[in-house]
Amino acid sequence: MGVAGAMDRKTGRRNHTHWLLVFFLSLLSAIVFPAHVAASEPFVMGTDADERTFTGKWYRRIYDEAFKRMGVPLTLVTAPTARLTYIADEGNIDGQASRVFAYADAHPDQLRVDESVHNVRLVLHAFGLASQSGDPRRLEDLAAGTWRVEYRRGVAICEKTLTPVVPAELLSDVTNIEQGLKKLKAGRTDLYCDFDLAVMGILLEPSFKGETGYRQVLDLNLGLPLYPYVHKSRSELAPRLAETLRKMKAEGLVDRYQKEVVRELEAAR
């Protein structure tokens, strides 16, 4: 056998050893890093809270941390409440930051995450001193037709609660909280329905600095939990997000973030 033949056999053995090594390394990689553990697809979450507001800043801290822990990239987008409902039902976003428990009943493609992000109270707000006829003490008092009542469009629980008792000609809606509060001050309405923390957040903004006339008149629902929602196309994330939020709340992070944001906004005014 010539030198060339010996070299071919040696080269062949070397090539054989090389491909065996490649095969075993590939097999090891497949075991340790299976194909389904690829970079997670970004999750697009909708909120009606602008990133400059109290609620917007608070939600972004909560969900940035939650999705970081889950290892899922997060994009938060902002839109009016009613618009969010539409684009979520169309499947154009993957989830929403906060909705009431019953939201799922009317939106079957939206899966409620089984851990609330926080609790709120549904409250009627007014401006100035109590009216001559006094403030309503019960929801049923609104049927007397004494008060012009308004709520934020898309906050379905306000609409559902008020429609049976407030005369239709005295019930209206607005696009956002700021508009509702300004109409109260201008005397164009008497009562405004919204979540207590949402209104508190707007009153922390520079445009409301020094305003002391706004007051809470009547609780409509005490301790109302708000839940994240996930579109059914990303249903695998719902239990993971629930567990993550549960741990964060147990650590006191959600409350801590709220206090931090309040301090920041007060200092910036």
pLDDT in tens, the chain (269 residues): 443 444 344 444 444 544 443 344 344 444 443 333 334 789 999 999 889 899 999 999 999 999 999 999 999 999 998 899 999 999 999 999 999 899 999 999 999 999 999 999 999 999 998 765 689 999 999 999 889 999 999 888 899 999 999 999 999 999 999 999 999 999 999 999 999 999 999 999 989 988 989 999 999 876 789 999 999 999 999 999 999 999 999 999 999 999 999 999 999 88
Res 40: pLDDT:
73
Residue 22 lies in a domain: no
Report which residue type is found at 70.
Answer: M
Task: Compute the 3-state secondary structure of the chain and give helix, strand, coil in percent, each to the nearest 5.
Answer: 50, 20, 30
* Average of per-residue pLDDT values in the chain: 86
Q: Which amino acid, 166?
A: V
**In a shared domain, residues 47 and 140:** no
Q: Which helix (H) or strand (E) holds 192?
A: strand 191-195
Q: Is residue 110 part of a domain?
A: yes
Q: Do 128 and 105 share a structural domain? A: no
For residues 91 and 145, membership in a common domain is answered with no
Q: Looking at the DSSP assignment, which residues form a beta bridge with residue 151?
A: 173, 193
pLDDT digit string, tens, across residues 179-212: 999 999 999 999 999 999 999 999 999 899 889 8
CB 224 within 8 A of CB 197: no
Which of 209, 224, 239 represents a domain boundary (last residue)?
224
Task: Answer yes or no: do 111 and 127 share one domain.
Answer: no
Find the CATH number of the domain harbouring 217.
3.40.190.10
Pairing, β 110-112 against β 74-78: unpaired
Measured N-to-C along each axis, helices 54-70 and 196-203 cross at an angle, to the nearest 10 degrees, of 120
Could you tell me the residue range of the domain that residue 125 belongs to? 120-224
Are 145 and 220 in a shared domain? yes
Q: Is the pTM of this model over 0.85?
A: no
User: What pLDDT, in 10s, does the model give residues 119-134?
Assistant: 999 999 999 987 656 8
Alpha helices in the chain (DSSP H): 3-32, 54-70, 81-89, 103-106, 156-162, 177-185, 196-203, 237-250, 253-268
Count of domains forming the chain: 2
